[in-house]
Structure 1
């Protein structure tokens, strides 16, 4: 297993796959950028054609293949061995690039537009493989970091390719020659890298391919809808591509009419936006503790809205003609603010998109993942078409680009609230993530002792009102917490506990009916292979020391014999949410950013898991004085 996301490059699979997909994205964007500049500056003058019309045709020709071929491509990716498929797709890329070179030398715009359609076809074939192959080679702990690096590589390739293509096509015949050589060399290097990708067994070798894209697309969406979290995550991903399409498409004109910047300033801002997404994607693993942290998704959505709104407030006017170069632009009031806003929109976009992709990969049935990814690609394309249509309507009716950015930011907030209301787990994880990254500084030891799969009971000392949040936000697997019913009802926290399917419990004398319901729910959860956490003391410590363990843990293990994982929380007695009494204001402030350690021991077999033994183990793990 990789120590961190960058150590993934030591793996033969990941380094080869990363280079393959990054070079593919680079080549796509070198060609597309060169073609769009060719259309804008040569097609109109030399061929007497309308450049705006041709740009719209070009955008349509690249995106149509995703609607036509994605469903079939998803089935092919499911049925056949993936490394061989990738090599064949890269050979197709070499052929397409050779035809592109011919098109540039023939100076034939219609031929080049046909090549753009073929590039869209090739991208639609590669798309389902790109994300479905990762879970077959990476562990769950590596999945988030792997996705982050793939997104980083993709967006950096987009901006590098855009710059290179635009610059080279501007150098007339010499530029075309260099461009032609580069297209062929990059595609050949991509093929060579693909040859190092290890064999990846097919997910469904006996799958019968349905060649009808309409019925297969419908079938794919019906399957995805069966898993509500996966389907809504796909909608969230597609919204990101709507949002990204708005910015990537409008930034050039925004630079000209709102910032008075020339094409070099536009390239600088596009680079800032794309690099921001790359940085945000790469930071996801660091911020999430190497697990799929859904709490980053609301965090990302908040940043995407906030900084997009500030782009409008920093640049409300649109009446310039694009005169300033980068140096002159940066000397203007508000220029740095605008550049930072674009960077942070990208960074928070990375926080938003990477966990969603990783969540789909983690929770989708692996035998259907390629087809679900194909359906996601179709939906992405559809949302990008909607973005273009909305831009045409709004901007065509007098709305300025800054105002359109503001509208997009508001729509982003509305969509985020809607999705998070449908899946409270996102908001719950966000609240937990904020808690353990602001009020506390949490150190983890021995998390690998929690089994990757299968039922187990976790036992821990009970120090504060937020013990469950710290444990749940730190351990990779979802945990069903058993907690005293009065803590379960604490305002705000109760939302988190209900969403996490915590099990409220009471003493036999206090509420025997609730106790019996809790014991039944615990047994049912363990029978289903879940992790259940119980605080055997039965109440919070009032003096910082541990109370004796109650017999409830023995009843649970007797009914459902499963391994018991002891763990202990250190340092929480001195924190904000414990029962420790503090009188001085300065002492209250010291309780913020408390250092907390979660220590996990090896599992104990159910035969040895009596309350006295468990108490001794947890007390030794705690190893700190109140």
Structure 2
């Protein structure tokens, strides 16, 4: 796939109509909500006697309420019915809600508008499970990260543009109210028009019986999701991101006014740079992940959220302006660019954090239960956002300033990240592998699509260095169980990585016959469960750069469990620090340069009956060629 492939999806029927449907939904939500909040802030006396501050907190809460009440039902509907049909009905509901809102606008009926806020929350609740369960049905595995990136970019751009347009339209005299009232109906109708182009998306479980009790269905959803530990913890990680974002974003209006001494345009500027950062990070995921689901980016994103969240606190302390300024005046102030840079980078690393989590949930969930898993995630997101509001109110109540709240949130993010990654070390392990092949080595892959996306197979490869397994792990689109010499398995630091990856240590029969037999039993069990297993048939690292004879272990493996065997060859690692090349290891690495190139070549599958050590040796030798 080309680097521009994620944008080319917009021109394809399987993606384009769906993208514009969800974009216009997010856009319309925020045009309406922001217009209402702006009116209640600047023209409250003409609408209600209630405190504007109360309403500014009540309205976002009412929008979230349907996520708590109806997400479980929405997930069932998306699993039971064809998704294009569900999307069209949701868009018709949006038109009806905006018609009710228009009546409220024209009659200055606040409670009709509040009811429409709840209705739009219901609209988003019903569309959410469709939104993320649709993509795996229509995108190839290598397109999923890019597709999610474009969707996330579109969502945040839609939110940003909606907030800006809503704030501008409603104060446009003398027809601002009319523009919002009828403009939101027009946007809803446009969304329905695009939804008609969404291709047929078969229901994964049409025989599903709907449980209309939201409480019991929510509990059942979360219980089912917890059975898949990586998915459940990814859901928690996703919800944590919404906690972090809710805390940060909720402070922007007061932070812009009281700490930066800026007018409304400074607040809009902050939203803009943050949204641009989210969009850029979301799109950057495809390039950094190599067109596959790379969960190693999640720790990278989490580190950035903490680093730049903490620096936002430091930058706020260094900002000294006390005069009221507009956007241009703020940018001219000393320290303002650092604050804006921190906001952009929080957005960028937020995108790097959230997109791989979405993709992991989509690829590792039970397809028949995916919409309900997404619905469960939406419930968790809503709960975490409520807790975020309580968290912020408590810290502000006990005397923390908003910059100190930024610092506390950044530190809390670091603690949560450590906790989650300790529960699922695969995240951190993949991060270390990703870091290796993007810093010390630049890895070029050839025919990596031959590594099967699902089902059992044995991968065989030449053994050049102590990091062969890490390189292969970073390139593979799915987890691999490595079989390796027990002595390499015990190397400090690398041992933790191999244990985390559930590597299988093996020893020669004359050295430890029990460990050798246990290794073959573990291999058979892994293949029986449909996993990938990788072995290095040479049984030891090369000391000359040339391949050693392949041992007979591969024959025993495929004899017990007949599965395809995929030959692979590493090229370019010989002579690096972690090989047994003669001479000073640091001197060798210095001669190679800081960013040495290497290559992993994947061959065609070999049927079990032909997977002899001699035949596989010739296959791997041919793939490697002369480049050691």
TM-score (norm 2): 0.97
What aligned pairs does 1:8-23 form with structure 2 within 5 A after superposition?
8-23=9-24
Cα distance in 2, alignment partners of residues 46 and 446 from structure 1 = 64
Distance in 1, Cα, partners of 2:218 & 2:142: 31
Cα displacement (A) at 1:88: 0.8
- Ranges in structure 1 where 5+ consecutive residues have no aligned partner: none
Give the corresponding residue for 2:422: 421
Q: What does the per-residue CA deviation read over 1:540-596, in whole Å, with 9 as the maximum and x for residues that have no partner? A: 011111111111122222222222111101100032311223449665324331101
Kept in 1, the 8 Å contact 2:319–2:334? The answer is no
The answer to whether 1:486 aligns with 2:487 is yes
Aligned counterpart, 1:263: 264
Aligned to 2:192: 191
Work out whether residues 318 and 401 of structure 1, in 8 Å CA contact, stay in contact via their aligned partners in 2: no
- Quote how far apart the aligned CAs of 1:128 are: 1.4
Cα offset for 1:5? Answer: 2.1
Q: Helix, strand or coil for the counterpart of 1:336?
A: helix
Whether contact under 8 Å (2:98, 2:184) holds in the other structure is: yes
Partner Cα separation in structure 1 for residue 355 and residue 469 of structure 2:
26
- Alignment check: 8 A CA contact 1:574 1:594 kept: no
1:596 and 2:598 correspond = yes
Tell me the equivalent position of 1:222. 223
**Contact 1:312–1:405 (CA<8 Å) still a contact in 2?**
yes
**Structure 1 residues 514, 301: closer, same or farther in 2, change over 3 A?**
same
Give the C-alpha shift of residue 436 in structure 1: 1.1
For 2:586 and 2:74, the matched residues in 1 are separated by 63
SS at match of 1:574: coil
Shifted more, 457-466 versus 57-66: the winner is 57-66
* Whole-angstrom distance in 2 between the partners of 1:315 and 1:329: 13
Could you say which residue in structure 2 is the equivalent of 1:531? 532
For structure 2, list consecutive stretches of 5 or more residues without a partner in the other structure.
none
1:396, distance to aligned residue in structure 2 (A): 2.7
Matching of residues 404-443 of structure 1 within 5 Å: 404-443=405-444
Deviations 1:456-509 (A, max 9, x none): 111111100000110111021221111001111111111111111111011122
Distance 1:322 1:57, change over 3 A: farther
Q: 1:491 to 1:584 in 2, by over 3 A?
A: closer
Aligned in 2, Cα 1:37/1:204: closer, same or farther, shift over 3 Å? same
Report the more deviating stretch, 573-582 or 294-303: 573-582
Match of 1:175 in 2: 176
- Structure-2 separation of matches of 1:353 and 1:322: 37
Tell whether the 8 Å contact from 1:2 to 1:142 is kept in structure 2 after alignment. Answer: no
Quick one: distance in 1 between partners of 2:262 and 2:550? 69
In structure 2, relative to structure 1, the CA distance for the partners of 1:589 and 1:367 (3 Å cut) is: same
Matching residue of 2:619: 617
Distance in 1, matches of 2:116 and 2:585, equals 73
Please identify runs of 4+ aligned residues in structure 1 that moved more than 4 A: 317-322, 584-587
Q: Deviations over 1:267-291 (max 9, x none)?
A: 1111111111111111111111111
CA distance in 2, matches of 1:322, 1:624: 69
Instruction: Establish whether residue 101 from structure 1 lines up as the match of residue 124 from structure 2.
Output: no
Tell which deviates more after alignment, 384-393 or 412-421: 384-393
